[in-house]
């Protein structure tokens, strides 16, 4: 599969309170050309992902690519890491969402490797997981294994949907900030989702707005310096309201990136999102504590 892209769905970043680029509301948001195209793309990707799902049932083994070195890449790739030549060598761990597996990252994994990231792998957690904290502990053990295998002290983590919340819980509540260099979340219900009221399972109840887990994540976290980039969409059909995909916490170095007309399952496949993830991991899109009220367009 190739990355998908739509006109009118370029990301925009917002640090701090919601800016003029906040998700659209009302009937007008449902009839735009970008929204209609995004909805059709989402349906097509869901169908394709159902076919790919069996291929991702096993946890992917770490396969370091010794050819991927910033100094050996074409100029365009080397430029991505100009600010931090070592960024490409830090391992990247991809964490999927609820009732899913690492097949959701088929395009992103290939894209990151092509852009010069030397160590990219995915992690599957149990489909029977019933607790965010338990999943975060399991993730922590996996990150330790990745560090042992690669010899690195730090890792990048990219989480889709629930995977982003599991990673954030590990970073914020279990000392994971000592291992995680940066965290990028895609369509993650940082503030819960009202759809979680439809399914009364233990894990899904933790995704309801105001749940005990989300209250824990709202508690002070003065020691956490891991930068967080939360990419969310105004067409997300799972995270409702869509603004709940923002990571707003006074102690976190969080940067919220809005994309328009991209569905929940489409986020890991969208070209603009892939560009944003790569730039964030390379250190080109880092939030700054002194810029808490800034808002800017992202190319």
- In a domain, residue 231? The reply is yes
Instruction: Tell me the residue range of the domain where 183 lies.
Output: 59-283
pLDDT confidence of residue 7: 40
Say which CATH number the domain at 154 has: 3.40.50.1820
pLDDT tens-place string over residues 31-78: 566 666 656 666 665 555 555 555 555 666 666 555 444 445 566 566
Residue 230: what are its φ and ψ, rounded to 5°? -105, 110
- In a domain, residue 142? The reply is yes
- In a domain, residue 134? The reply is yes
- In a domain, residue 236? The reply is yes
- In a domain, residue 33? The reply is no
pLDDT tens-place string over residues 156-184: 999 999 999 999 999 999 999 999 999 99
Q: How many domains does the chain have?
A: 1
Give me the chain's average pLDDT, please.
82
pLDDT confidence of residue 287: 76
- In a domain, residue 103? The reply is yes
pLDDT tens-place string over residues 10-34: 676 655 555 444 555 544 555 566 6
- In a domain, residue 219? The reply is yes
- In a domain, residue 74? The reply is yes
Q: Are 88 and 70 in contact (CB under 8 A)?
A: yes
């Amino acid at each position: 599969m190739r990355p998908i892209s739509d006109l009118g769905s370029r990301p925009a970043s917002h640090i701090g309170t919601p800016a003029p680029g906040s998700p659209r509301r009302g009937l007008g948001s449902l009839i735009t050309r970008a929204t209609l195209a995004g909805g059709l793309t989402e349906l097509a990707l869901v169908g394709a992902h159902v076919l790919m799902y069996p291929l991702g049932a096993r946890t992917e083994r770490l396969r370091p690519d010794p050819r991927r070195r910033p100094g050996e890449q074409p100029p365009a790739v080397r430029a991505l890491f100009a600010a931090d030549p070592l960024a490409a060598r830090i391992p990247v761990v991809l964490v999927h969402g609820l009732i899913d597996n690492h097949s959701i990252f088929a395009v992103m994994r290939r894209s990151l490797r092509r852009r010069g990231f030397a160590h990219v792998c995915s992690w599957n957690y149990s489909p029977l997981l019933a607790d965010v904290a338990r999943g975060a502990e399991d993730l922590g053990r996996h990150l330790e294994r990745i560090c042992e295998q690669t010899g690195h002290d730090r890792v990048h983590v990219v989480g889709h949907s629930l995977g982003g919340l599991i990673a954030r819980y590990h970073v914020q509540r279990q000392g994971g900030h000592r291992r995680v260099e940066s965290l990028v979340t895609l369509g993650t219900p940082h503030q819960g989702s009202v759809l979680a009221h439809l399914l009364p399972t233990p894990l899904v109840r933790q995704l309801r707005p105001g749940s005990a887990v989300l209250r824990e994540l709202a508690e002070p976290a003065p020691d956490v310096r891991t930068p967080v980039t939360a990419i969310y969409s105004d067409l997300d059909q799972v995270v409702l309201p869509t603004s709940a995909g923002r990571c707003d916490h006074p102690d976190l170095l969080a940067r919220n990136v809005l994309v328009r007309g991209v569905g929940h399952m489409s986020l890991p496949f969208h070209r603009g999102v892939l560009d944003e993830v790569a730039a964030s991991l390379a250190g080109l899109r880092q939030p700054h504590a002194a810029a808490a009220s800034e808002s800017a367009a992202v190319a």
